[in-house]
């Protein structure tokens, strides 16, 4: 299948690579041309000088960029160039509002739009083990499900346009709470004179177990925060969550509190630390 992929960041670069390795005819676009050149040298296929050029013959146009304005710009350039009947798949974590807006724009042009944010981080993108939550028309979803399969562990259609983004917001709410709980448990263990790794061994096979505990407890205890999803991006996501909650009336006391804690981490110089750095405001890393 002829596919295009825009946005070769830490997620998009390996995701587009999985598509190429699966045998699709992939055209990539990236604002930084050097990264697109490196991708072509690694995976073959071709890069395009513009979004419109990448989209021109694509049956499926995928993107994974930064935020709402980036999505609007890229999709706005792609829609006029795409052949009628093509599907746009947005893997960006963005607002449900922009998903609904662009789905309507696509429909007016005889195209389809599926919001399809992902969970699993850079490691999941590289290993092809991402979870994808989708919003859009069932027929469009059925078309894109086999296309994204090379980097998918689990995928589900959650409803109409925007439902994928709303589901990703639920994901981020859960992560915020779990990581804050781990940070406080780790700090408590130290203040109680317990060995942090001994605590992990004692509780990690019981009801407290989580992916975050298994993958971040040790590095949190060592003050290492150069893994996974950056604080700046988490604050962007939690901002979307809290804005949506103001619209729908959901009461998100914990999420708002943790968002404030991440703001403290940013002030500590941790903008690019990963999300497990919540522990740093309780137990600042030793210099």
Which residues are tagged catalytic? 168
- The answer to whether 100 touches 164, Cβ cutoff 8 Å, is no
Q: Tell me the pairing of strands 152-159 and 130-135.
A: parallel
* Chain mean position to CA 22: 22
Q: Cβ–Cβ contacts within 10 Å for residue 77, how many?
A: 17
- The answer to whether 155 touches 134, Cβ cutoff 8 Å, is yes
CB burial readout 114-134, b (16+ within 10 A) else e = bbbbbbbbbebbbebebbbbb
H or E element: which one contains 244?
Answer: helix 231-248
Residue found by looking up tokens 């935020």 in the block: 67
Cα separation, 1 vs 117, whole angstroms = 22
H or E element: which one contains 105?
Answer: helix 96-108
Backbone angles phi, psi at 92, to 5 degrees: -65, 145
Answer positive or negative: Cα dihedral of 140, 151, 33, 274. Answer: positive
Take residue 173 and report the two structure tokens written for it. Answer: 């709410």
For the CA atoms of 276, 281, 282, 287, the dihedral, rounded to the nearest 10 degrees, stands at 90
Residues with Cβ within 8 Å of 249's Cβ and at least 6 positions away in sequence, in order, are none
């Amino acid at each position: 299948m002829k596919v295009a992929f825009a946005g070769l960041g830490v997620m998009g670069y390996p995701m587009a690579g999985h598509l190429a390795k699966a045998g699709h005819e992939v055209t990539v676009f990236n604002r930084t041309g050097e990264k697109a050149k490196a991708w072509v040298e690694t995976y073959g296929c071709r890069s395009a000088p513009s979004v419109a050029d990448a989209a021109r013959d694509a049956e499926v146009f995928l993107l994974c960029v930064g935020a709402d304005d980036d999505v609007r710009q890229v999709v706005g350039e792609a829609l006029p160039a795409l052949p009628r009947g093509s599907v746009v798949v947005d893997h960006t974590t963005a607002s449900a509002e922009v998903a609904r807006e662009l789905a309507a724009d696509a429909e007016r042009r005889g195209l389809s739009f599926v919001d399809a944010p992902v969970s699993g981080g850079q490691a999941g993108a590289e290993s092809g083990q991402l979870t994808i939550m989708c919003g859009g028309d069932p027929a469009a979803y059925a078309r894109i499900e086999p296309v994204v399969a090379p980097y998918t562990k689990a995928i589900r259609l959650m409803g109409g346009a925007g439902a994928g983004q709303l589901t990703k917001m639920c994901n981020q709410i859960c992560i915020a709470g779990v990581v804050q709980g781990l940070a406080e448990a780790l700090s408590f263990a130290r203040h109680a004179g317990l060995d942090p790794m001994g605590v992990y061994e004692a509780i990690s096979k019981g009801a407290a177990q989580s992916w975050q505990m298994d993958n971040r407890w040790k590095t949190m205890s060592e003050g290492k925060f150069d893994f996974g999803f950056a604080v700046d991006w988490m604050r962007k996501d939690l901002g979307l969550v809290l804005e949506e909650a103001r619209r729908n009336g959901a009461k998100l006391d914990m999420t708002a509190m943790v968002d404030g804690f991440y703001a403290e981490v940013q002030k500590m110089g941790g903008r690019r630390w990963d999300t497990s750095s919540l522990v740093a405001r309780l137990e600042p890393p030793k210099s």
